[in-house]
């Protein structure tokens, strides 16, 4: 059975300075590498799921986002961390698409017979991440490394609240 951690990007893995898109904006949050290593050692596949409305708003291009993501993935690879895939929604909230978190379209292809839904999680710093987990029937961890303090809805029903990814990995391991 495949256990998956669906990870938000900005505010969860990388510092969120607002519409992060340049390689120079890369700023991995503390304990991210150690948390990802621990999750990976527990047998989890790691998949990034990110809303990138800056593309739809014209702030940056899809190519710029891919360049940033490739840099992030390559930096993590140097620490023996494997990100299996990056899933993204380029639309603005006004577009009302099916792929923007908290909707589940981006992660539904992983709901195969060998998917271990009972032991898979969404980890993120916003209510949309927690709602994605709730909508998909997954467990969730709200990390307080990003926007959670600014997002009053972010405490809505996470399975766990964690200080960072290492704390999240510890809570998942001890669940």
Catalytically active residues, by annotation: 8, 10
> What is the SS3 assignment for the chain?
CEEEEEECCECCCECCCCCCCCHHHCCECCCHHHHHHHHHHCCEEEEEEEECHHHHCCCCCHHHHHHHHHHHHHHHHCCCCCEEEEEEECCCHHHCCCCCCCCCCCCHHHCCCCECHHHCEEEECCHHHHHHHHHHCCEEEEECCCHHHCCHHHHCCCCEEECCHHHHHHHHHCC
Q: What are phi and psi of 164, to 5 degrees?
A: -165, -175
């Amino acid at each position: 059975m495949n256990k998956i951690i669906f990870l938000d990007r900005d505010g969860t893995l990388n510092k969120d300075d607002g519409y992060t898109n340049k390689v120079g904006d890369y700023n991995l949050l503390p304990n991210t590498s150690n948390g990802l290593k621990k999750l990976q050692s527990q047998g989890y596949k790691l998949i990034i799921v990110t809303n990138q409305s800056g593309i739809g708003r014209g702030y940056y291009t899809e190519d710029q986002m891919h360049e940033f993501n490739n840099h992030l993935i390559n930096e993590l690879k140097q620490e023996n961390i494997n990100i299996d895939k990056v899933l993204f929604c380029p639309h603005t909230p006004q577009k009302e698409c099916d792929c923007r978190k908290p909707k589940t379209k981006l992660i539904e292809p992983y709901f195969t017979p060998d998917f271990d839904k009972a032991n898979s999680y969404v980890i993120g710093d916003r209510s949309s991440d927690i709602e994605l987990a709730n909508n998909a029937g997954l467990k969730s961890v709200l990390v307080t490394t990003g926007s959670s303090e600014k997002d009053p809805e972010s405490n809505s029903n996470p399975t766990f609240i964690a200080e960072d990814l290492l704390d999240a990995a510890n809570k998942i391991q001890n669940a």
